[in-house]
C-alpha cells in the first residue's frame, strides 16, 4: 500500500511510519517544517513539506495521488492556543478529507480523542475544551462524507511506555491509558481492515493482541 499521513512528524505518526515501512508499505508524511524531514527519512518515510493551514485542496490532493489510504494524525500540539486547535485539529482535518476525496483516496483514518462527542465539563481548561470541540467537529465532518471509507480512532490517555501489543478496542471502552506504540500498531492493522469503515472506536490498554482486537471489531 501507499499511505499518506498528515502530521507526519507527530509522535504516533513517526511510530506508524516505522511500522508501515518495516512491513513493506510505501509511506509519505506531510510536515510543516523542512527541518523535520530527517526524522521521517530515518523512520522510512518520504517527507512531504506542505502547510495544511495555508495549502489549497488542490495542493494537498497532488500529494495524495496514487495513495491507497490517508491517515490524519496532525494536531496543533502542546503550547498552542484555542485558535490553532480550530485551524489544525478541525480545519486541517476537513482540508485533508476534501483532498482525499478529490484524489480518489477512499480509505481514511483519523486519530481523534476520547470526549470529543460531548460538550466538555465546565471546569475543563479552556484550551483543552477548544481542542475537544475541534476534534468533535472534525469527526462529524468526516462521518458525513459518503465518499470516504473512514474509521475514527479515539485513544485514551497517551503514554510513552513501551507497547504491550495488547489492547481493548471497542465502540466504548471506558477511560484508561494506552501507549503511543500500541496506538500506532492498531492504526497499522486498521489500514488493512476496510470492514472497520464507518466505525468510531475507542482504544485503551488491555489483554487482546492487536491483530485479534482489530479482527474482532471488523467482524461485528
The count of residues in the chain is 220
pLDDT of residue 69: 98
pLDDT of residue 77: 78
Active site residue 131: yes
Residues 30-34: contacts with CB within 8 Å, 24+ apart?
30/4, 30/5, 30/6, 30/60, 30/63, 30/74, 33/9
Q: Where are the alpha helices (DSSP H) in 144-167?
A: none
pLDDT of residue 44: 98
Tell me the Cα Rg of the chain: 16
Sequence-distant (6+) residues with CB within 8 A of 127 are 80, 81, 82, 85
Per-residue pLDDT of the chain (220 residues; tens, 9 = 90+): 999 999 999 999 999 999 999 999 999 999 999 999 999 999 999 999 999 999 999 999 999 999 999 999 998 777 788 888 888 889 999 999 999 999 999 999 999 999 898 888 888 998 889 889 999 999 999 999 999 999 999 999 999 999 999 999 999 999 999 999 999 999 999 999 999 999 999 999 999 999 999 999 999 8
Sequence-distant (6+) residues with CB within 8 A of 78 are none
Question: Catalytic: which of 72, 108, 131, 150?
Answer: 131
* Pairing status of strand 208-209 against strand 166-170: antiparallel
pLDDT of residue 7: 96
Question: Is-contact 205 165, C-beta < 8 A?
Answer: no
pLDDT of residue 79: 76
Q: Where are the alpha helices (DSSP H) in the chain?
A: 11-22, 37-42, 57-64, 82-84, 93-103, 126-143, 180-191, 210-218
Report, in this order, helix, strand and coil percent for the chain, each rounded to 5: 40, 25, 35
Question: Running DSSP on this structure, what letter comes out for residue 171?
Answer: S
Residues 45-50: contacts with CB within 8 Å, 24+ apart?
45/5, 45/8, 45/17, 45/20, 45/21, 47/8, 48/4, 48/8
Amino acid at each position: 500500500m501507499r499511505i499518506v499521513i498528515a502530521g507526519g512528524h507527530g509522535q504516533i505518526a513517526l511510530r506508524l511510519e516505522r511500522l508501515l515501512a518495516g512491513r513493506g508499505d510505501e509511506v509519505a508524511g506531510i510536515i510543516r517544517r523542512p527541518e523535520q524531514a530527517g526524522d521521517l527519512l530515518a523512520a522510512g518515510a518520504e517527507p512531504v513539506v506542505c502547510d495544511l493551514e495555508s495549502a489549497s485542496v488542490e495542493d494537498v490532493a497532488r500529494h495524495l495521488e496514487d495513495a491507497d489510504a490517508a491517515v490524519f494524525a496532525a494536531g496543533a500540539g502542546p503550547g498552542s492556543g484555542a485558535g490553532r486547535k480550530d485551524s489544525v485539529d478541525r480545519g486541517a482535518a476537513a482540508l485533508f478529507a476534501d483532498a482525499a476525496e478529490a484524489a480518489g483516496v477512499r480509505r481514511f483514518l483519523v486519530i481523534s480523542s476520547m470526549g470529543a462527542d460531548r460538550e466538555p465539563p465546565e471546569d475543563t481548561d479552556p484550551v483543552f475544551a477548544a481542542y475537544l470541540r475541534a476534534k468533535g467537529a472534525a469527526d462529524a465532518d468526516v462521518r458525513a462524507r459518503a465518499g470516504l471509507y473512514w474509521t475514527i480512532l479515539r485513544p485514551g490517555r497517551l503514554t510513552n511506555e513501551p507497547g504491550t501489543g495488547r489492547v481493548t478496542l471497542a465502540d466504548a471502552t471506558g477511560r484508561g491509558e494506552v501507549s503511543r506504540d500500541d496506538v500506532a500498531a492498531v492504526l497499522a492493522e486498521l489500514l488493512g481492515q476496510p470492514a472497520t469503515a464507518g466505525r468510531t472506536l475507542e482504544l485503551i490498554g488491555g489483554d487482546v493482541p492487536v491483530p485479534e482486537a482489530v479482527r474482532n471489531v471488523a467482524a461485528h
